[in-house]
Amino acid sequence: MDRQEQIEILVDHFRNPRHQGALEDADVTMPGGNPGCGDVITVYLKVGDDGKPVADVTWEGEGCTISQAAASILMEMVHDEEWSMEDILDHDYNTMIEILGKEAVQMRPKCATLALGTLKAAVRKYQRDQLRASIGADANAPLPDDEVESIGIVVGDAALKEKGNAAAREH
């Protein structure tokens, strides 16, 4: 795919986002934010059986063209290619380069990886909650933290705090 085609796909997804909107019966709702700008996207994940495709995944949020287009393209891939929870964890920075092109990802790494980092955080949250339940641990009991394999995005409460900080800076 040449650069022009990549740009056209990106703009199309930005203007006509796929799989956008809250999912009422989501198993996990995960906000993810870019500390550089305060933009937040929220991923809604409904899990599938072990090794099977996820039952559903949607997203909503606001942000730059790259972050929003990346979220839309990524969600479309999860649906069309029937990714399982394990597949989601297997994808990384290189997937975003395939989707968006090297140039966009290198220039705007946090924007480009916001959706994938948040989606992976949603999967990990679900897995950690399951682990806590299986060992009878309290829902808030700390477990070893997995690294967020993204370029400096924040997830969960920290993402919402960043959004608040960004809003405060604007006033």
Q: Are residues 113 and 104 in contact, defined by beta-carbon separation less than 8 angstroms?
A: no
Contact 56, 23 (CB under 8 A): yes
- 42 lines the binding site for ligand FES (CB under 6 A): no
- For ligand FES, the closer of residues 63 and 91 by Cβ is 63
Closest approach of ligand FES to the CB of residue 168, in Å:
16
Min CB(87)–ligand FES separation in Å = 24
Pairwise CA distance, residues 104 & 115, whole Å = 15
Residue 84 backbone phi and psi in degrees, to 5: -90, 175
Which residues, including other chains, have CB under 8 Å from residue 23's CB and lie 6 or more apart? 44, 45, 46, 56, 57, 58
Stretch that binds ligand FES, among 42-50, 61-69, 94-102, 138-146 (CB under 6 A): 61-69
Minimum distance from residue 68 beta carbon to ligand FES (Å): 8
- Which of 42, 58, 67, 118 binds ligand FES (CB under 6 A)? It is 67
Nearer to ligand FES, 89 or 166 (CB): 166
Nearer to ligand FES, 39 or 56 (CB): 39
Distance in Å from the first CA to the final CA of the chain: 43
- Specify whether the CB–CB gap between 156 and 30 falls below 8 A: yes
Interface residues with ligand FES (CB under 6 A) are 34, 37, 39, 63-64, 66-67, 111, 114
